[in-house]
Structures are given as C-alpha cells and as structure tokens.
Amino acid sequence: MKLLVALAVRAGHCTVKFFAAILLAIIKTIKFIFSEFRELFGFAGRAIKWIFRESTESYRNRVRISRELSHEVKITRKQGGKEYRQAVAKLICSFFFGEDGVMYTAFNWILPIISIAFLVGVVGYGSGLEYGIAVEYNGKDIGIISAEADFTKAEKDVQQRISYADRDEMIDLSAKFSLKIISDGDKVISAGQLADKMLEASDEELSKAYGIYIDGEFIGAVKDKNKIENALDDRLINYDVEGIVHDIEYVNKVEFTEGIYLQSSIRTEEETIDLLTSAKEKKHVHVAEKGETVIDIIQQYGMTVEEFNEMNPSAKDGIKEGKLLYVVERESYLPIKYVREMETISFLDYQTLEVETSSLNVGTRAVLVKGERGEKKSTVEITYVDGIESARKVLSSEVTKKPVVETIGIGTYSACPDDPQTVYFGSPLTGSGEMGWPVDGGWVSDSFISDRNHKGMDIAAPESTEIYAAQEGTVIAAGWNSGGYGNVVMIEHENGYATLYAHMISTYAVEGQYVSKGQLIGFVGNTGNSFGNHCHFEVRYQGICLDPASFLNTTNMVKQEHDDDEQ
C-alpha cells in the first residue's frame, strides 16, 4: 500500500513538473515575440525620425539663416544709412536666391516634375502615331505597306504571274524599305495592290484583268470574271447526283482578284471555262478486299459494268480477296464535293455458345438454339468527291433486332445398351431419339405388343443395374404397385407424355421430385408379375401406350463404363 501511495505521489509530482515546463516555454515564447516586435517598432521609429530630419534639414537651415539675417537688419536699423540698406538687400537675396532659398528649392522640386511630364507627353505623342513601311522599287516610291510580310506576299504573287507567262528573263524584284510616319495624305496599300504597282514599275506589257487563283495558286487571268463564275455555278446546279444532298461545293477554293497582269497571262473566257470544267482519266490497279463485289468496286470508281468487264474479263469467274483489278479513276480539274445523308442497314453477327446437356447422348452435337444475325439501322453522312465516297460519318444508330446466340449442345447422356447394333432383335433402334435409353446397359428382351399384348418394352439387365429417367419431368408415382408392376416409378413430362419404369428391386426417386434426363430413379429387379430381372419401360401419351422404340435411337450410342465398374 505504501508503495502505491509513493508511486501516486511520484506520478503527480512528474505531472506538475511537466505542465510547469510547458507553461514556462509558452511564457518565454510570448516574451521573445514581444521583444522582437519592440525592436521592430523601435527601428521603424528611428527610420521615420531620420527621414523627417533629412527632409526638413533644408527648411531648418533656411530658418536659421533668415533669423541671423533678420537680427543683422535690426542691428543696422539703428545705424541707418548704407549698412542698413546692405543688410536688407542681403536678407532678400538670401531668401530668394541663396542656398535653400525659394528659387533653389523650387528648381529642385519643379524640374523633375516638368521632366516627367515632358517624357509622358513625348511617349503619348509617339504612341499615337501610325507607322508604315515605305517601299522603293526600281527607283520609285510605289507605296506604303503595314508589314514586311505584305511585300513577301506581293513578291510571290508577281512571281506566279511571271512564271505563268513562261518568260526566259526574270524580273528583278528587289526593293528597299524604310520606316515612315503615316500622315493624313498617305495611304496604306494591300499586298495585291503592291503586286500591281511592282508590275507597273516594270517595262512589261500589262493589262487590267481578273486573276484566277485556285487554293492560292495563280492559273491565269480573264477580262470578264462573270462568265467564269456563271459557268462554275451552272456546273454545281446541274451536277448529276442521286438522292437529296447538301453542302455541294468545289473541293478547291476559287478566287478572282482584280489587278494588273501580264498580257501574255490573259486567257479567253471560253478557254478558261474548258480548263476549269475538264477532267482526265487514268488507269489504276485495285486490290480486292474480302467480301467485295463488282458492284462495290464500280460504285467506288464511278464505272459502268461494261467498262469494268472489258478491263477485267477474268472477274466473271468471281472476285477473291487480294485479286488485282484494273479500274479507271476520273480526276476533275475542279472536283465537286457534296454530302448526302442516308439510312443504312447493317447486320450484327451472332455468337456461338457450346453447352453440355443430358438431352443428347455422349458424342452427339446438335444445334439447340439456331443463331440469328441482328440488325442495326444507322443514319450516316457520306461525303462524295466527284461521285466517289471519300468519307463516312455515323450520325446515329439503333439496334432494331438483337442477335440470337446460337447454342450448340454437347451430349452428356451416357446410358446405352450393351450392344447398340443388335439391341432390337438384330437391328439398332432408329426412332426419333427424343428419349434416352433408360438402363445402364441391357438389351431388348420383349417388344411392344408382343403375343401377350405387351404395353411396353422389356430391357433385360442384371439385378441392381441402374435405371435412369428417359426424359426430364415430375415423378407422380414411386413405390410398390399392387397391379403387377412391383416397385414402379412413373414420370410425367411437360409435353403431355409420361414414362413408366417397372419391376424395380428398389426405387430411388420419390413422388413429387423433379428429375432431369439421365438422373437415377431406381434399380433393375424382378418384382411383381415378372420372370427374370428386367426393366419394363412404357411410353404413354395422354394415357395411351405407344411403342417406346419410336422414341429411342441407338445408332450413335457408345458404351461408356462407369468409374465404379472400372475400379
């Protein structure tokens, strides 16, 4: 107990020391912060005091000198005469023109202000001026441009006009530039106007006309641009297209620029129209793609079937992937582009799924669900150039029919007779195969409607051989039957059929149980009105007994031993 008290006292003592140390640290921190602020404020006060003293020193000097001179004036006033006048003059001159006087102080303060104002005025005036580049070409001032890039553009334009004329001699296009302040009488000219003036300054034979530029390249000039524009517009309006189209236009940009051009570069309007509306054909080799047809190819190149067959006689035998085909490409001088919206139907491939099923015998594959392709309706925007598709853009799409997955069944039902080839008195069973062989082995020992009006098929097998459900369904009876069947199991199927399995040594299924095809329901025996171990197998439709042989098929059955038998 004493030890616990001592420990408690010791712990309390340590706690007090700990909190005391923390409090002392906080006090020291606050003291340090206050001392630093005190020094900072002290430094700021000394700085303000120094600034005030320095800024007022000239004023204090002026006051001290004025007091001394005023005192001297008072003394000389009593003496009068020349000494007094000199003292007054000295006081006035010192006040206005002496050191730290009115004029000296005014000069020191006003001059910087005037200088700053003058500098601001000069900058403002200069920034308000408009500058340009004066161009001197061939010894003449031909104009003012806003940037040197305008001369480069004009030089290129002049070179195009000259090169078009197939001249042997080149025109010297070197020029001098100088910066110039633009006055009210000066006019800034464009690159096109500069090109005209450069040509005018040369000694060439010139004429005023409209230059034709295609994507910025000069191709010639004409006197009347209206005829050319009308011909190009008529070609667009009368262009033969199918369906409803929009945004019909030329692929290339055609511009007309009025200016001065070499006389040799001017064409007639008719010659220019023939050039701009012309087209040429060239032979081309097309590599056939997978699934491509003749129709696909001739539509792509705008050919007729006759043209294609004439160039490709072997195509009549069919087109295979990778086959080389000759086609004709038509290339217009000015290709026409247009956009067409249309709805297309495309097919969606279905998937194939393999599943194991007891509804089929082992080794048998069959289509359980036939696959169907789906369909998708799309609204597409197709761009054509000279009638040939060049681009396609899907605007919207909708799946109108979903694909159906094809299901392929792989048989797992393994029950089969001992010898499928001689199961039915020397011949295999060749019925529909809707039902599976119900016994693990065995053979037919008695057929349907034998000489004793037999209602089913007897399958002989050793005692305790497994009996399986021939088809899925619900067990409606399981157990002893006093009518001669012995231990019996009866299964009702969804399609109106029922199967019965009699003379079992014991049943495995129970009434009300749902069983699948191939599921164990009992064992072969010799109970009831029976002579020898066998399974009496009946097939009934709405209560009427049918020949089980019509529902069994043993042609493809393969005997498979169970693991228990192998062991």
The SS3 assignment for 153 reads helix
Higher pLDDT, residue 142 or 497: 497
Q: Tell me if 333 sits within 8 A of 491, measured CB to CB.
A: no
Any idea which of 48-57, 85-94, 311-320, 420-429 has the lowest mean pLDDT? 85-94
The Cα-based distances of 302 to 244, 247, 272 in angstroms read 19, 20, 26
Span 349-396, pLDDT tens digits: 999 999 888 777 777 788 889 999 999 999 999 898 887 778 888 989
Report the C-alpha gap between 200 and 40 in whole angstroms: 79
Q: Tell me if 210 sits within 8 A of 274, measured CB to CB.
A: no
Q: Tell me if 510 sits within 8 A of 477, measured CB to CB.
A: no
Span 545-554, pLDDT tens digits: 999 999 998 8
The SS3 assignment for 147 reads coil
Any idea which of 148-152, 460-464, 539-543 has the lowest mean pLDDT? 148-152
Report the C-alpha gap between 419 and 459 in whole angstroms: 12
Higher pLDDT, residue 151 or 449: 449
Closest by CA to 191, choosing from 252, 144, 255, is: 144
Span 323-333, pLDDT tens digits: 888 888 778 88
Q: Which two tokens stand for residue 430?
A: 């060749």
Residue 154 pLDDT > 60: yes
Q: Tell me if 473 sits within 8 A of 491, measured CB to CB.
A: yes
223-227, 383-387, 503-507: range with highest mean pLDDT: 503-507
Tell how strand 245-250 and strand 336-348 pair up: antiparallel
Q: What is the 3-state secondary structure (H, E, C) of 448-472?
A: CCCCCCCCCEEEECCCCCEEECCCC
Higher pLDDT, residue 197 or 417: 417
Report the C-alpha gap between 280 and 284 in whole angstroms: 13
Q: Strand ranges (DSSP E) for 158-310?
A: 175-181, 206-214, 217-222, 245-250, 254-262, 279-287
Report the C-alpha gap between 271 and 269 in whole angstroms: 6
pLDDT of residue 473: 95
Q: Which residues pair with 180 in a beta bridge?
A: 132
Average pLDDT on 418-428 reads 82
Span 16-39, pLDDT tens digits: 777 777 888 888 888 778 788 788
Average pLDDT on 289-300 reads 79
Span 226-270, pLDDT tens digits: 999 999 999 888 888 877 888 899 999 999 988 888 787 888 899
The packing angle between helices 81-97 and 102-127, to 10°, is 30
Q: In the predicted model, what is the mean pLDDT of the chain?
A: 80
Higher pLDDT, residue 46 or 540: 540
pLDDT of residue 484: 93
Residue 435 pLDDT > 60: yes
Give the whole-number percent of the chain exceeding pLDDT 90: 27
Residue 459 pLDDT > 90: yes
Span 521-534, pLDDT tens digits: 999 999 999 999 99
Token look-up 């409803």 returns 244
pLDDT of residue 562: 42
Tell how strand 352-361 and strand 406-413 pair up: parallel
Higher pLDDT, residue 51 or 323: 323
Span 1-18, pLDDT tens digits: 666 666 776 777 778 777
pLDDT of residue 563: 39
Q: Which amino acid is at 59?
A: Y
Closest by CA to 559, choosing from 413, 427, 433, 434, is: 413
pLDDT of residue 230: 92
Closest by CA to 213, choosing from 164, 148, 152, is: 164
Q: Torsion over CA of 39, 41, 43 and 45, rounded to 10 degrees?
A: -140
pLDDT of residue 564: 38
Higher pLDDT, residue 20 or 88: 20
The pLDDT confidence band at residue 433, using thresholds 50, 70 and 90, is confident
Q: Tell me if 142 sits within 8 A of 134, measured CB to CB.
A: no
Q: Tell me if 439 sits within 8 A of 523, measured CB to CB.
A: no
pLDDT of residue 566: 36
Residue 50 pLDDT > 70: yes
Report the C-alpha gap between 540 and 451 in whole angstroms: 20
Around 339, how many Cα atoms within 13 Å sit in the side-chain half-sphere?
A: 11
Report the C-alpha gap between 41 and 35 in whole angstroms: 10
CA angle 136, 142, 144 (to 5 degrees): 85
The SS3 assignment for 347 reads strand
Report the C-alpha gap between 221 and 207 in whole angstroms: 10
Average pLDDT on 203-208 reads 75
Report the C-alpha gap between 280 and 274 in whole angstroms: 12
Any idea which of 110-119, 172-181, 331-340 has the lowest mean pLDDT? 172-181
Q: Which residues touch 335 (CB under 8 Å, ≥6 apart)?
A: 250, 251, 252, 385, 386
198-202, 209-213, 268-272, 464-468: range with highest mean pLDDT: 464-468
Average pLDDT on 466-477 reads 95
Give the whole-number percent of the chain exceeding pLDDT 70: 74
The pLDDT confidence band at residue 108, using thresholds 50, 70 and 90, is low
Closest by CA to 446, choosing from 340, 315, 343, 538, is: 538
Q: Which residues of 193-230 are buried (b: 16+ CB within 10 A; e: fewer)?
A: bbbbbbbeebebebeebbbbbeeeebbbbbeebeebee
Higher pLDDT, residue 153 or 76: 153
Closest by CA to 134, choosing from 118, 121, 147, is: 147
Q: Which residues touch 136 (CB under 8 Å, ≥6 apart)?
A: 142, 175, 176, 177, 178
Q: Which two tokens stand for residue 529?
A: 């009105």
Report the C-alpha gap between 407 and 65 in whole angstroms: 120
Residue 565 pLDDT > 90: no
Tell how strand 443-446 and strand 140-145 pair up: unpaired
Report the C-alpha gap between 436 and 535 in whole angstroms: 14
Average pLDDT on 281-286 reads 80
Residue 517 pLDDT > 60: yes
Residue 468 pLDDT > 90: yes
Q: Which helix (H) or strand (E) is 372 found in, with range?
A: none
pLDDT of residue 293: 82
Report the C-alpha gap between 60 and 210 in whole angstroms: 84
Q: Which residues touch 91 (CB under 8 Å, ≥6 apart)?
A: 66, 69, 70, 72, 73
Closest by CA to 436, choosing from 464, 415, 418, is: 415
